[in-house]
Amino acid sequence: MNISISQSSPIRLYPRQIAYYLLNNNLPAYDSNFSLAVRIANQYGKISKLIAHIIIVATLSMAIFRILDNQLWDLTGLPNLAKTLLILLLSIFTMEYLGRLWSAPENCTDLPEEVDDFRDYVADHSYRIYYVISFLGIIDLLVILSILHNIISGDINSWPNYVVILGLFKLSRYIPGFEIVGAVVKKERQILMASLLSLGFLVVILSTALYLAERNVQPEVFKNIPTALWWGIVTMTTTGYGDITPITPVGRIVGGVAMLGGIAMLAIPAGILASGFAAEIRHREQINNWQIISNLELFKDLDSSCIADITRHLRSLVLPKNTVVFKKNSAPDAIYFIADGAVEVQIHPRPTSTITLQKGDVFGETGLLENRKRNATIKTIRATRLMALDLQDFHRLANDHASLKKKVEFINLSRKTT
């Protein structure tokens, strides 16, 4: 049979591990093992998504309430339930904060081990302190304190009550794009800082030059260099308010240089970020592919050089729903790995019911190894991303890595005997 089916069984976690997964939708100690990560996701994924949706709705409700104030109740026609809403939000965010604080030690990437009480105590507290002083940990605490101040003071217009707006940063935990932005900026921070410093130096130099050119003609407009700096910032960022403009020939030349220089300098960070985003996405896709490949039965226990070669030769296929990957009796051309989505396997005359393969499953290896026609029809049941290892690449890798060929032959033989 040209398919591999993952057998999932319940996995037992400690209460603290469950709490960490429910709040973060991952468990670092098990993330490197793709099969275990999938089993944990199958057990707790739906509850984790429900909790995430509750926190997202609470965060957005908090921001809307703070922005609209009393207008919220006028627009909706509901009675003023401000205090009730604040108490509900305080309860949600307090439980979230305490849960994150308690489960913070599970951020450790090592699998749980038996350790003495003192070492366990020190390790737990170091991870909890790290969460408390982290950016999002501080945001979580500030939001709770701001809501609490709002409830106690009753003055909705005092500035501490507006700190809850910072709670929008909490959404970065649930929007993967935010994490990618942070990773790209962190990796490219040196080049970005150099370009921003260059832009700053250019603003100061051109603003000073314009001040010297215009101060005698427009003394009431260009009173000092800080005033000229405002013009420089507005001009070089291409905003162009028009409240301050040069009128002398020299001043207009300086202004033209500032406009062109601003466009050029702003294009540099844009290019850096664009290339950084592309590189980060490729990097994450490679890591995801490695995790899938290294945990498949077909490639499990192979050395890292072999898995790296396999990963390099994979090509990605994104297929819409109800697309036939290959038909029964077609010639074998590749082994397929499901990176995301699901496919349906139709085998005749047996079994009578269809088989569904999910993320992490592999199919098509038997026909490829024995070079015989496919004995099943494979069709996607939703939008699916597949990774394909072509026939020529597979045989080349099998010749280069004897362990790979032996593993495939062993699995194929075991399937024939069962």
- Give pLDDT tens digits along the chain (418 positions): 344 444 456 778 888 889 999 999 888 877 766 667 778 888 888 999 999 999 999 999 888 888 877 676 666 666 667 788 889 999 999 999 999 999 888 877 665 554 445 455 555 668 888 899 999 999 999 999 999 988 888 776 778 888 889 999 999 888 877 878 888 888 888 988 988 898 899 999 999 999 999 888 888 888 888 888 998 888 888 787 777 888 899 989 998 998 898 888 888 888 888 888 888 888 887 777 777 777 766 676 777 778 888 888 888 888 999 899 888 888 888 888 888 888 988 876 665 666 888 877 788 877 666 667 888 888 999 999 888 888 888 878 878 877 777 776 776 666 556 5
| CA atoms of 165 and 152, how far apart (whole Å) | 18
| CA atoms of 207 and 201, how far apart (whole Å) | 10
Nearest to 35 by CA among 10, 2, 5, 6: 6
Q: Which two tokens stand for residue 282?
A: 């490729």
| CA atoms of 333 and 367, how far apart (whole Å) | 9
Quick check: helix, strand or coil at residue 326?
strand
Q: Where are the alpha helices (DSSP H) in 215-300?
A: 225-236, 249-294
pLDDT given for residue 6 in this prediction:
43
146 burial type by CB count under 10 A (0-12 exposed, 13-18 middle, 19+ buried): buried
Please indicate whether the domains covering 189-285 and 303-417 agree at the CATH topology level. no
Which residue bears the tokens 């944990």? Answer: 40
Amino acid identity for residue 181 in this structure: V
Q: CB–CB of 30/37 below 8 Å?
A: yes
| CA atoms of 154 and 123, how far apart (whole Å) | 41
Tell me the DSSP string of 350-409: S-SS-EEE-TT-EESHHHHHHT---SSEEEESS-EEEEEEEHHHHHHHHHH-HHHHHHHH
pLDDT given for residue 352 in this prediction:
60
How far CA 190 is from CA of 183, 198, 269, 272, in Å, comes to 13, 12, 11, 11
298, HSE (Cβ side, Cα atoms, 13 Å) = 26
| CA atoms of 410 and 397, how far apart (whole Å) | 17
Q: Which two tokens stand for residue 392?
A: 């020529």
Q: CB–CB of 335/364 below 8 Å?
A: yes
pLDDT given for residue 2 in this prediction:
43
Considering the domain 303-417 in this protein, what is its CATH number? Answer: 2.60.120.10
Q: CB–CB of 376/3 below 8 Å?
A: yes
pLDDT given for residue 329 in this prediction:
84
Q: Which two tokens stand for residue 399?
A: 């010749």
384, HSE (Cβ side, Cα atoms, 13 Å) = 26
Q: Provide long-range contacts, Cβ within 8 A and 24+ apart, for 252-257.
A: 254/206, 254/209, 254/210, 254/213, 255/210, 257/206
Sheet-wide strand order for 334-340: 315-319, 384-390, 334-340, 362-363
Considering the domain 189-285 in this protein, what is its CATH number? Answer: 1.10.287.70
| Stated pTM of the model | 0.66
Nearest to 186 by CA among 133, 132, 135, 142: 135
pLDDT given for residue 7 in this prediction:
46
Q: CB–CB of 136/103 below 8 Å?
A: no
pLDDT given for residue 73 in this prediction:
63
pLDDT given for residue 156 in this prediction:
67
The full set of domain ranges for the chain reads 15-174, 189-285, 303-417
The Cα diameter of the chain in Å comes to: 97
Quick check: helix, strand or coil at residue 316?
strand
b (16+ CB within 10 A) / e for 226-239: eebbebbebbbeee
pLDDT given for residue 395 in this prediction:
79
pLDDT given for residue 5 in this prediction:
40
